[in-house]
Structure 1
Amino acid sequence: MGGSVATLHVQAQQLNEDSIRRVIAGTGSDSVRVLALLTLGNYQLKHKMQDSIGLHTLEEGLGLAGRIRFRQGIAQGLMIKGSYYNSKHQLAQSLDAYDEMMQVAEDIPNDSIRNRLQMMAYNNVGGIYNDNGDFRNSLMYRLKALALVEKYTPGNYTNLAIVYLNIASDYRQLKMPAKALEYLDKTTAFFPKLNERLKMEYYYEYYHNYLASGKAVVAKAMLGTIEEGLRTFNLSDFQKKDYALMLAKLNGIFQLEYDRNYPRALQYYQRYEALARELKLKTEITESLYRIGETQLAAGNIPAAIASLQQSYNMAAANGFKHQLMKAELLLADAHKKNGNATEANNLLEKAMAQRAEIYNEHAVKELAFAEAQYQSEKKKAEIAALTLANTEKALKIARRDRLLLAGSLITGLLLLVVAWFYNSNNRRRKDAERAEKEQQKQIVFLERQQQVVSLQSMINGQETERTRIAKDLHDGLGGLFSTIKMHLSTLQHEVQDLRSYPLFTRSYELVNDASDEVRRIAHNMMPEVLIRIGLVPAVRELCNSINAGKLLQVKLQDYGMEERLQAATEIMLYRIIQELLNNIMKHSQATEAVIQFNRENNQLSITVEDNGCGFNVDADSGSGRAGLESVKSRVNYLNGSLSIDSQQQIGTTVMMVFLINH
């Protein structure tokens, strides 16, 4: 059993990339191929660390997007480029990619996609400035992002909250905590609607700003709020440990620096160290040992402090943590001085001063590199502006020459021009009328599309409402009735012992029991409780398990980056799509194996459903399963997604869907 599971796991890991490559090589739409190329390139760069291969794949996707004028694909590719270059500290290339992304996004006709991409570009550029200590420019770009969100998507509370949080962080680092708290408080009206991970991030930002504002009592109460969130929120195991680590550290700092409760601070720091070791975070282990030594020194336990600080020092030296090494040297020097060892204290102070000079030089080099990146970015903008100006001046010179030629022609051809003027006037009026008619037709088409979207939304919402009502009626009404019948039959067979010997009674009891189970199964399929309670992936996993129990079809589920839940309406829609595709596989494909894969990278979610069945003709207008596929297409369109179907006779079918989702 163990061997087969390992084999399936390896195949699934390869299958995701293989499926994307089939979409790239297939005959689907070029826009879907662009998105598949970008997905593959991003995967190669971020997960496989294949820089040259990933950049080649990315450029291939950008080239195809340029040839078909798919501006959304170009913008998404440039965003991946900007993120990649930033991770490699190639800041000039990163800023250039984001600047180009903003320009490309300007020409995207879809307001929602255009504004979301521009908002992401501004926010990410702000992040580059923030990482390099330029909080004023970071704030400027974050405020530009906020202007877009507030103007075009004021109801998108997640985007609003993310930008508010970033702005608050910038203000805090600019030593303006009151202004930071003002932006944090803007979420008060919709804070309950935010996802739980984002709420935890807000709690931490509130805590730091309360401390910076001198509100220690309120800050301490916020630590209790963080602890309550850690206990009650539906977080992943990694998130729980990560937040617990930060909470232990903050509690230790507060007990040491504000309450002066050294035993309590030591308990928190020891908890901090244990979590850091469990998560194998070397920087946090080094920091926790330093904090323990700092507390022991403040409490007067000098030998214990020296031992803890020496461990922190050794770990910092072994891993090249220069800033932590300098801190450990300074505090160790103080501890040895208090212990009467002046020689060792002086040696450590000399090392700390040398370390400080080295850190300062590295910081200066980093600042110069960032300044150079800014200069190159601004220089490129200036060159583009100068080129545009030169082209404009050239056009003006040509226009002046043409006007002189025209003046000479006017002298010799006045009568002809008068006739031409009448002709052009009539022609212009005709063109204006045609243009007005075209604009009217465009408006009609736009309104028709809007009406289609509204109708589709109403239909789908109506279907889900009716499914929920029927499921509730089946479970509470018919299910309850069957339970009552079973109870009466059970009572009857206990009161009349002879009934057990009657085959008709026994068969009737079994049929009632089977009917009761079937009602519950139907109600569960119409609105599974696990989908509402804990999310999409567990609900799909339960659906796969129920299919696997039948032995005719084995379904494997793989998910990557799905720790955060999506919006409830989106989860329901995606569940229905998966449910419909699995129904089609079971009814029509004659498949024995199927694989479902969720892959979430930042704001992009790709879903692949693959089987080893008999395949079908994708281009056929009718046939078995066609109604189900039309339902899938409608739901994908409703979510503004793209759909690609690749099917080969006797080999199987691959369905790939790509969606842009909000963070």
Structure 2
Amino acid sequence: MPRYLKLIVCIVFFTNNAFSQYSDNLIRLRKEIKAGKNSACDILKKIDTKSLSTADNALYLYLRAKCDDLTNIQDSAFDYFIRSKKAYLAIDSIDRAMEMNLEISYLLSAQQNNSIDCFKYANESLRYADKSNNLILKAKTYTHLGMLYLDEEKYNQSLDYYKKAQLLVKKIGKPAMESAINNNLAVLFNEALKMPDSALYYLDKDLSYIKIKGQPQDYYYNYTNRASAYTHKGHYKEAIKLLLQADSLNFNSQVTKPFIYGTLALNYGEINDYNNAYKYALLNKQFSDSLNITNQNISINEIQTKYQTAEKELENTVLKNDNKIQKIVMYAFIALFIVALIIAFLIVKNSRKREKIAAQEKLIEQQKLDKVLKDYELNSIDMMLEGQEKERQRLANDLHDNLGSMLATLKLNFENLKLRKNDLKEHENKLYDRTDELIQEAYQKVRRLAHAKNAGVFASQGLIPAIVKLAEKISIPGKLKIEVIPFGFTDRLDNTQEIAIFRIIQELATNIIKHSQATEATIHLTHHDDNINIIIEDNGVGFKPEAIIDADGMGLTSIKKKTKQLGGTFTIDATPSRGTTILIDLPV
């Protein structure tokens, strides 16, 4: 495979970089150098590099390398590429430095019998592209690796890398890069796989892009690769026509001339035009001799050795500095560690102090709450006892004022019967009727008194209001809300039972405040015909019922005993972190 055909494709691909952050003058020169204008290189050499910024200096070195590459001074180009890479690394422009790697690798791959490993530079770029997720650099590196494996005659690997690059370029939308890949694929199918029709397919795709945005050098590469395809197909005259068109384009590259003239000599020979074949064979030799590849390889190796030595010395200096820095960092770390320990000690000490104060405040708050609950319990009992006393007084008054007068009247009636027994028949009916009325009225009075003693007033003046007031009293705004939901309490219970139920609910409510850490609690009281159902639930931290009951941690054992004494049942439904529900059933 002609060595320089491969270089043509690489140059097409790698002159598509963007340099928008640099000076306008250098950007203009870059475009002209890309077009192969030697005059731009002459202007570039006259620039005073001392006036350039660090970024512009890196670009300047890159453009000097491209100029030397175009004029076949490959050893000097190699030197400038190396210096440009170092300049980009110095300003932390790693993306550009990795592109210099690919330029260096391209240059080395085009040199015959060069001992420097060009894969080393390409693989370094690929590792960085993977790490930084630089898709454009990755696509460029894939394309370059495809070319390197093509040179190694590993065609399957070459095609694999070209296809990877093609998929990636379509994904990121870079038609100029896709054009370059099409040219590379054409080289593979032409020179390696001997499939010129496939090569022409990719060159036709490339031509559709070139007609829109192509530069002279883009037509140059397409024409020369297309001519190679026609040569393989035996269409020598079409190949000659394309090669002459390529040579007439305004694109000067000393490196590409030998390929054109050598291919022209080959095609003229195939059509028996020996005069032109001899003419272009001489031109091919003339330009090939001017390349002086052997001497350039020696210079390139010397430059590589020089930079490797410099890099080694720099590494040693950096290593010494790193050791010093590591010692400084170690001492600083020890100092920071000691300071951190002191700060941690103070934080822990302060935290424990705050915890102690918080515990004391919580204890004081709990003591206040216990006092409020105790006072409220005593007040509630006093109110109930006072209510009982008033009830007894009312019963005594009713007995004295109503039933007593009725019985006295009844007594007088019977005495009147005794005194008037002689004329009893005359008043018999009236006296019996009156006596019957008095007895009936006295009976009704006794029934009403008995009913009032057992039932009396409505429950709104007994157990439920007391529990509602308790809930209001112990609720804490913003922290704990206790709601009471009664149902079916139309009549009062026995006074002793009311007091017992009140005390049970009061103790369970106290447990909610002390232990549950709840924000909401509900007390359900339901009065059925022959039993009372009490459900107390909260949204607190919950607990394991067996552990708490075994240890009597919240007085639940005593509440359970009280419930049993009243003939009821006591059930706990609690789970850690999911709240607690207490169920009590009592017979009426």
Shorter-chain TM band:
0.3 to 0.5
The structure that has the greater radius of gyration is 2
Give the alignment's TM-score, normalised by structure 2.
0.43
Give the alignment's TM-score, normalised by structure 1.
0.39
